[in-house]
Structure formats: structure tokens, C-alpha cells
Chain A
Amino acid sequence: MIAEVGHSASMSFPILTALIFVPLLGAIAAVLSSNRRPEWTKLIALISSVGTAGLSIWMLASFKTSEGGFQFTSQHAWIREWGIGWHLGVDGISLFLVVLTGLLFPLVIVGIDPHHGHKRYLAWLLLLEAGVMGSFLSLDLFLFFAFFEIVLVPMYFLIGGWGYDQRVYAATKFFLYTMFGSAFMLVGIIATAVLAKNSLGYVTFDLVTLAEQASFGTNTARWLFFAFAIAFAVKVPLFPLHTWLPDAHTQAPTGGSVILAGVLLKLGTYGFLRFGLYLFPEAAVWAKPLFLTLAVAGILWGAIAATMQKDLKRLVAYSSVAHLGFIVLGTFAFTSVALTGGVMQMVNHGISTGALFLLVGMIYERRHTRQIAELKGLQSVAPIFAAAFMVVMLSSIGVPGLNGFVGEFLILIGSFENARWWVVVGTTGVILAALYLLWAYQRVFHGEVDEANASFPELTPREGMLLFTFIAAIVFTGVYPKPMLDRIEPSVKVLVTHVEERSGRTFEPDVVEVKKAPAAKEEKHEDH
């Protein structure tokens, strides 16, 4: 059902393979570069990350808009006897996550300098990029798992090596918590491949083959779904498995936080779509009430906990819990409007929260504190900084005209028919979002500036350029989201149809004929 398209593309240039190997080679080159010439290491990092960005833009430009299937696919047998293959592909669901990854890394590399150990820092970052790219592009369960796990290692070392005072605790917690989740997924992956032999007659780890052709017993599928779901729920993170996140975010260096919020958390929400819903549609539908409830609980819990945080970075971290709750809510409503909104919100959250972490990092660089109580009146001394923070904050609150609104709105309106009461409760999250962010803004930026903050420096040109990139994306996608939506929707539609066919349930609302106003008086609705 999901057509394999773009074989010709894979013949010409293996662009997806290149997206993984360019940063990987960059990481190796960075390791091999001389310790005494840090500028060479920086140049290597720059070239490989900008090169990856260029590749991702090229891929975006040549992506066929109205096709729902995988494009630029690249398929090679790898470990033939176990049915493991190097199978990559991109569709509307992963497209913008790949582009976001491609663009975010060079920005972080150019925009934020580590305080020490340039070489290792850059090498870990590039390895991280390769791992994230691989996770988003893999269409083979084994391959996906390998990349999913590779991601952990550089992130562990980035937090542990360049983080703040409690970095070791946070890094260990992050590593073990995610490992704990991954263990379930590993079991799930192996079990899926082996048990699929019953229906397929051979063992394969290929995602498309498993999803389209294999069949599992109802109960088995549910157990397998949960094995995957636990790994993704930890990664998202879904309430109540979220407590590693505030620690990891707060202790990570700014670059690490930006990447963590920007793309790493999306591995969880992306995983739900690609491996949860696609592989085990019936089980996902069966688990719908549970996940909707946890999603809405996360929206409220994350927002309320964010309100009471004393550390600005922790506050932003908790806001992520709430925002990711919206995405999971949209995922388990199974309509193309909600799922498109969810995919869009993954990207939006990456941009907005990434930018918020950047801003909080800049505050820390200047004041060496993240405590809200120690900051005051910054708008008077740094009005441009304050304005940039304001725009990013409004995007995070979900003010229409900026990117955050589009995704959030699509999720909520698309989920309303299938998950009405969850939406009614979850929408109150938009009130709380205004509360915790505006309150924080007031305490940090408003009021009379005190002595400690009086010399708070204004944005530097480099910081300004960096933030301008984020703000431009925030405004553009808020005003004109159509190019994104047009590319996301066909793939989401394919996935929804797959879920509907396999589960035998319908989720898409009946198409209501859009009536022209004058003629509408005669037309009648079967609504009564």
C-alpha cells in the first residue's frame, strides 16, 4: 500500500546515505585532527554540518510534494541471513524533522562555543547528528535501533562533559532511563522479526515488509506495541516517565539543550508514528484511551510544574513536557488533521523551544545564574534581547500568526471529534502556557532593574543573527504553513488509511460538503 517511489533517485545519488555519512565522516575527521589546531577542527565541523544542511535542503527541494510514500529510498542487503538491510527512506512525516536536524546542528556549531575541549565536543555533536539522521531515515527495525542507541552515547558525554554542576547525575539518569526504555524496544524488535516468520515464512527486520505483510495475533501485537511504546514514551517523554528531562535539560550545555529539545525528543513522537501506529495499528487503536489520558495529564502536569519552577531552564524543560503532550494527543486521535498538526508541532517545538534554550543560555552566559529570582528588569537594559525573547515566547504560548499556533490548533481541532473530552481538558493547557511564560517573563524582564542586572549586555551581532534565523522560521511558518502542510499531509493520510484498514475503524470525519453560502439554505445536513 505504501508505494516504494523514488527508485530512480536512489540510482543517481544516495542522498539519504550521504545525510548520515557526511556528519559521521566529519566526526571521525574531527577526532583525527590535531589537538593543537582547534581552528581546523572547527572548520571540519563547519564543513560537514553545513554540507549536511545543504544536502537536506536539496532533498527538500527535490521532494515530490503530493506523494505519500517513501522517497529517495536506498535499500541494500546487509546481514542477509537475519533479514537486516540498509533501508533508508523519507516521507512527509520525517521530511521536516530531517531538515530541522540538518539546519539546527550548524546553527549550534556556529552559534555556541564550548568552554573547553573543542575537539571532543564537536566530534560528539557530529556523531550525534549522524545518529539522529539515521534514526529519522531508517526503514529497518534493526538499523533504527542501532541509530536510536548511538544517539545516547554522544548525548551522555555532552551532558556529562560540558554540562553544569550536577551534570554527572543528570547524564547518568538520562542514559539509564532511556536504556531502560530501549531494552523493551530491543525485545520488541527481535520478537517482532521472529514472530513475523509465522506469517511471512522468513525472518526480516524490514519495516515496510513487516507493516504491510506480516500479521500478528491480537494479543501478541498488543504486547509488541507496548514494548515499543515504553521506549518511545520515555523518549518523548510522556507523563509520568518524564522526570529525566528537567535534569538532563537543565544540566546540559546550551548546545546540548537546543539539540535535545529540538530533535532528540522527537525521536519518541516520531517513533510512535513510524513504528507504533504503522506496525501495530490495531494495538495502537486499542491503547488510545490510555495514551490520550497520559498525554492530557502531561499537558496539565507539565504546565503546572513549569509554573512553580525557580530555575528558568527547568521551567522551559517542563514546558516541553506539556508541549509534547499535545503531540501525543494528536497522534492518538488518528485523523489526518490531528496527525499533520502533530508532525508540524514536532518541528515547531524544535524551533521555539530550541530558541528558548538558546536565550536562557545567553542569559546564563551573561549573569551566571538561571534563577528567576536573581534576574530583574532586563527589558530596560536590553530591549532587543527582550523583544527576541518575547517573540519566541509568544510562539511557545501559541499566539496565531506564529508557528506554535498552527500545530497546536490542528492537533486540537483534528482530535475533537475522536477525543472530545480529552481535547476539552487539554485545551486548558493554552491558558496555563500563558500563565507560566508570562509570569516568568514579568519576573525576569519587567520591573525596575537592580544593581546586579544593570550591566546586562545587549545581544551581540552573532547572537542576533542566530536568533533572527529562528524568529524568521517562527514567523514564516506561522503566516504561511501551507508549503509544510502540503508535504506532510499526503504521508499522514497514507498512515491514517493504513490504521483504519487494519483496525477496521474509521477515524477521519465524514467529508462535509463545503457549501456556498447562498445555496446552503436548500441543502440539508444529516445532523439531527
Chain B
Amino acid sequence: MLHTVWLVPALPLAGFLLLVLFGRRLAEPKAGWLAATMCGASFFVTLLVFLDMVSKSAEERSHVVRVFSWIPVGSLQVDLAFLADQLSITMALFVTGIGTLIHLYAIGYMHGDPKFSKFFIYLNLFVFSMLMLVLGENLLVTFLGWEGVGTCSYFLISFWHTRDSAATAGKKAFVTNRVGDWGFMMAMFLAFGAVGTLSYGTINSAAQGGSISHVTATAIALMLFVGACGKSAQLPLYLWLPDAMEGPTPVSALIHAATMVTAGVFLMTRMNPVIAEAYHWAPTIIAVIGAATALFAATVAVAQNDIKKVLAYSTVSQLGYMFLAVGSGAYVAAIFHMITHAFFKALLFLGSGSVIHGMHHEQDMRKMGALRVLMPVTGFTFIIGWLAIAGVPPFAGFWSKDEILLYVFANNRALYVVGLVTALLTAFYMTRQVIMVFFGEAKWKDHSEEHGAHGDFVPHESPRIMLFPLVVLAVLSVGGGLLQLPFTKDLHFLEKWLEPIVEHGEAHISGSWAYDNKYLLMLGAIVVALGGIALAVGVYGKKKLPAIEPQILANAWNYDKGVSAFMGGPGRQSFEGVAWADAHVIDGAVRGTGSVVRKSSGLVRKIQSGYVRVYAAAIVIGVLAMLAWFMWRGVA
């Protein structure tokens, strides 16, 4: 079964091609069903591959499938090949699984959109690209997927392209990601220079064998991280992700929460032997940037009023956790959190989409409230998602976050404190959101006329096709922790599964103080989560405490503004300076030379009219002179 892994990306690709050809004729809803079927079939094949892999011994689980020779030139031989192993199949399972759910959801959400079938063209192309990314056997196939998901992200963010903000957000995402891609390309060049190939297997075993020097390994690790910062929205390149919320909400759930943005974490995990060979300060940089991003984005989320912006900053923050884990050598925990985060964040985004749908495209939480009564399924599932992200046991997010914090404590206690503060803020802003949307008083009554609903505007629950994915994801958000429960070694299913992939890079903390006192740390984490919730209930529920939402937090510490001001100001001026210099200095010199020749040959011009002939004469004279000089030199 392992050799059929090529079918996993081939099915959504087929869906994409069929929709390009027949999408318009199929129209709504058949185009959506076709896309969802292809994605579902891909999930089914992945499941079969997974089951086959489980039945094999650990040594036989890694399998390479070569489709054709893609870019072969001399010493550079790149195949279009897939690597089916524990990591890639784990990724493919949740990409296709959550992808299918979101396809179904989108059939309901995109109902009535004039570009309905086009949406599913992009969605299937995205799933295909994402699968190329995770299943690639070498860095270049991953890069193909990496750029593919970026391009689809661009298409989908600017899907409603008549809106200027959407068009700008799409462009911003693409260009910012390209900054990261520069790093990815550098990493490829360095790896090729050191090992002579781009295959993961060879690069990683070279690193494990100690044949990549520490300097090179450090450079590769940091350049990969630059790429990851772009794709996975870390400081200082996170800027595009909050703006990406301009895209339709299923896109935010699929691309900008569950799958694409985790690509950076995947890449670092894939290359963990190289990171392990780097100087120690390299992973520390990764951990520090991850922690800084987690804290930064959490503070910003506290003051957002747009239902999707809260979730966007929350995603940036949670991705920060994953990089904090990567930098602390906790690769299993990073993947664990990536999976649980995919469950609960997809759930929260889809839930917010359901709210937006029911509120007739209102996204301002200040105009919501008490929606749990009118939207019971959305409300109930959203609450589960909230408990999961806030870190309340026994929901999925608690276990994965706790595992990260455990490793971070063993590695660096200062960063642990940052992680804990972030956990407090997370519980706080998510509780704030839940209260503003689902509890309290119904504010939408005051704003009903804005929705053009003729006075009797009542938010409504979404259709079943949108609720079904919510329910499935809610179940996963409850039970996702079962993948890796901390109590006994026997329950570390994910760790045992991924062990062959991460054994070289994974930190070993058994025997450390943190490991011996992990239940104490767990208790601390629970107290912090409940404390955050209680604080938010006090502020937004009981209104006993004043809300602290300074403008600087709402403006994300003015970082985006600063960057925009720089780009629009000195950045643009320097570009204009270049364009001016091109026209006036470089071309000016050319035109100046032209007029000098013209004037100095005024005599000739009297005899013959037409510049061309004048210049030609000048050139002939010049040729003869130069020739004479050359001969003299050559002979001498």
C-alpha cells in the first residue's frame, strides 16, 4: 500500500484539473461536491497507507516512491519523489482529514457566491500543494508545495478581489512569504553545497554521521527558520497573517490556521538532525523568537474586536509555541500541538464563520452577544474549542501545551515563564471572545438595521452541512489528547510513532527536575489557565473589573503601521530614486553622449541629413582607429 502514496496528492490534483475544465458547467453545488469527494478520497487513501504502515515494523515504515526525474543536471539530480514515513503520513492524515471537513463546510458557506466553483478550484489546488509539501522526498518537492500553497493562499485571500483590502492583503501575504522563501532557497543552496543532494534522507543521515560541519548546519538551520518565519507567521514576518483574514472564513480555517501555516514547523521537524548539528545558540534563537511571537501576539489578541482577528493573532501566538518547542528540542510536542491546534483552531474558525454567516457578515464582536441560544450547535462546539485552546483539562490543547511547557522548563526557565504568561493571556482573550459572542446581552438588536434585515433581524443557526464539520472537530478537540497522554510511557503513542524521525534531534529530559516534577508543573498550568478564565469572567462577564484594552495593543504595538510607514515612505522614495536615476543619470549620460557627438559633427550634418548616417560615420572612424590600436598592441 505504501507505494500508492502518489495517489494522495494525485486525487486533489485530478479534482483541480476537472474543475478547471468543467467547473463552470458543474456549478453550485456539484463543483463543491466533486472537490470534497476528491479530498475525501485522498484522505481515504492516506488512511490505507497509514494502516499499512502501522502493520509494518518500524524499520520498514519509511518508503520512497519516485515518480519521474524532475530536474537532472550533472551533479544535481532532483526527482519528483514522495517520502512516505511516519511524519509525512501524520501530516497528510490531518491535512486531508481537516481539508475534507472544510470542503464540506465551504459548500454551505460559499452558497450563492458567483464564483462558487472557482473557490473549489483553488481549494483543491491548495490541498494538492500542501500534500506535495509534506510528502516531498526532497527539499525541492517540498519547495514546490511550499510555493504552491503560498500561491493558493494569495488567490484565496484576494478571492473577493473587487475589495481593495482583500487584493492588498493577498499581495502582502505573497510578498512577505517570498522574503521567507529567500531563506528557504539559501538553505537549499547550502545543503546542496555540503551534501551534493537535496534529498532529506541523505542530508539527514549526513548530518547524523557528522559530515556536515557545524557552521554549515547552523547556516542551514537558520536559513530554514527564515523560511519558516515567513510561512508560519513568526516575528518579524508575521504581518501578513492578520490581514489574510480578508479571505473567506473556510480559507482562514484551512490555510491560515490548520495546515499551511504549520509548514514551517513541519520543515524544522523534517530537518531536525541538521538543527541538532548546529551550534547551540541556533535553536536558542528559534526558541526565543517563538516565545517572543507567542507573547506578542497574545497581548495583541486581548484588544481585538473583530472575531476573526482575535483568532488570527491567537494562531500566530500558538505557532510561536510550536517554534518554542522546536527550539527546545521538543519536536514530538511541536507536532502534537500542531495536530491538536489544527483541530481546535479549525473548529474555532469554522465556528466564527458560522457566526459571521448567521450574523449576515458581521464580524465585530461588540455587535454580537447571547448567540448561544440562537446558534446552539455553533455555540456548544465553539465552547469546546475555547476550553481546548485555553488549556483546560481534559481537552486536547491542554495536553499538547503542557508537553511543550515541560520541555521548555527543562531547557530554559526564562522562556518557560514567557510561555506561562502567554497561556494566561490565551485563556483570558479566548474567554473574552466567548463572552462577547455567545454570552452577555444581545447587542445585535441595536444594529439590526445595518444588516438590511427590515427590523426583524435575528441571527440564525447555519445549515447542517456547516454544522457537521463543527461537531466532528469538537469531538477531536475533546479527544485529541489521547495521542500522547503524559501518565505512562505506554500512552506516548505519538512519541513512539515519530521516534525514528526525531530521535537525533529530540531533547532528552528524563532525569531532569522538570520531568520528575511534571505533575507539579501541570498543576501550575491548570491554575494559570483557570486564572485567565476567571479574570476574563470578572472583566467581561461580571464586569467587576475594568477592561484594559489600550489602543497600542489594538494596533499590534504599531509594528505593522511602522513597517507600512517605512515601506510607503523611505522605502518607496528610494525606489523612486532608482527609477529617477535610471531615467536621468544612466539614460541621461547616454543621451548626453548622443548630443555631444551630434554637435561635434555639425559639419558633416550639413552635408548629410539624418542622425543615423552621422553616427554611422562616427562609428566607422572609431572602428578604424580602434583596429589600428589593436594591431599595434597585438604585434607589440
Contact = CB atoms under 8 A, between A and B. Distances in A.
Interface of A: 172-173, 175-177, 179-180, 183-184, 186-188, 190-191, 194-195, 198, 216-217, 219-220, 223-224, 227, 240, 242-244, 301, 304-305, 307-309, 336-337, 340-341, 377, 379-380, 394, 399-401, 405-406, 409-410, 412-414, 416-417, 423-424, 427-428, 430-431, 434-435, 438-439, 442, 445-449, 480-482, 485-486, 489, 493, 508-509, 511-518, 520-525, 527-528
Given A220-B634, A308-B579, A518-B205, A427 B185 contact: yes
Contacts of A514: 77, 196-197, 199, 202
Given A309-B579, A400-B147, A447-B164, A417 B193 contact: yes
A287 B161 CA distance: 48
Interface in B26-48: none
A528 B195 contact: no
Contact of A341 (B73, B164, B171, B194): B73
Given A401-B147, A524-B211, 16 more contacts: A179-B616, A184-B626, A194-B634, A216-B634, A240-B586, A301-B582, A305-B582, A337-B73, A409-B140, A438-B175, A442-B167, A449-B162, A489-B74, A512-B75, A514-B202, A521-B205
Interface stretch (B176-184, B309-317, B441-449): B176-184
A243 B590 contact: yes
Given A184-B626, A435-B175, A438-B174, A485 B72 contact: yes
Name, among A198, A340, A442, A520, the residue most crowded by chain B CB atoms within 10 Å (CB to CB): A520
7 contacts: A187-B630, A243-B586, A409-B140, A434-B174, A508-B74, A520-B201, A520-B206
Contacts of B151: 394, 399
Contact of A187 (B72, B73, B627): B627
A365 B342 CA distance: 49
B394 to A, nearest CB: 39
A400 B141 CA distance: 9
Given A176-B615, A183-B622, A427-B186, A442 B205 contact: no
B240 to A, nearest CB: 12
A416 B73 contact: no
Nearest to A379: B161
B209 A481 contact: no
In terms of DSSP, what is the predominant structure of the interface of chain A?
helix
Given A482-B70, A523-B211, A517 B204 contact: yes
A240 B593 CA distance: 14
B633 A485 contact: no
Given A187-B630, A305-B579, A527-B211, A175 B612 contact: yes
B216 A416 contact: no
Interface in B451-492: none
Interface residues of B, number: 78
Given A243-B586, A337-B76, A524-B209, A480 B68 contact: yes
Summarize B's interface: helix, strand, loop or mixed: helix
Contact of B575 (A307, A414, A486): A307
B631 interface: yes
A489 B73 contact: yes
A242 B74 CA distance: 33
Contacts of B205: 515, 517-518, 520-521
A189 B206 CA distance: 51
Contacts of A304: 575, 578-579
A184 B148 CA distance: 46
A430 B185 contact: yes
B168 interface: yes
Contact of B212 (A177, A414, A525): A525
B144 interface: yes
Residue from A223, A224, A434, A509 with most neighbouring chain B CB atoms (10 Å): A434
Contacts of A438: 154, 171, 174-175
B130 to A, nearest CB: 14
A410 B634 contact: no
Given A394-B151, A399-B151, A515 B75 contact: no
A517 B178 contact: no
A414 B78 CA distance: 13
Contacts of B71: 406, 409-410, 481-482, 485
B611 interface: yes
Interface string B401-432: 00000000000000000000000000000000
Given A520-B205, A521-B205, A527-B212, A220 B633 contact: yes
B503 interface: no
Contact of B189 (A216, A412, A431, A523): A412
Of A191, A216, A513, chain B has the most CB atoms within 10 Å of the CB of: A191
Contacts of A309: 579
A377 B167 CA distance: 11
Contacts of A394: 151
A224 to B, nearest CB: 8
B208 interface: yes
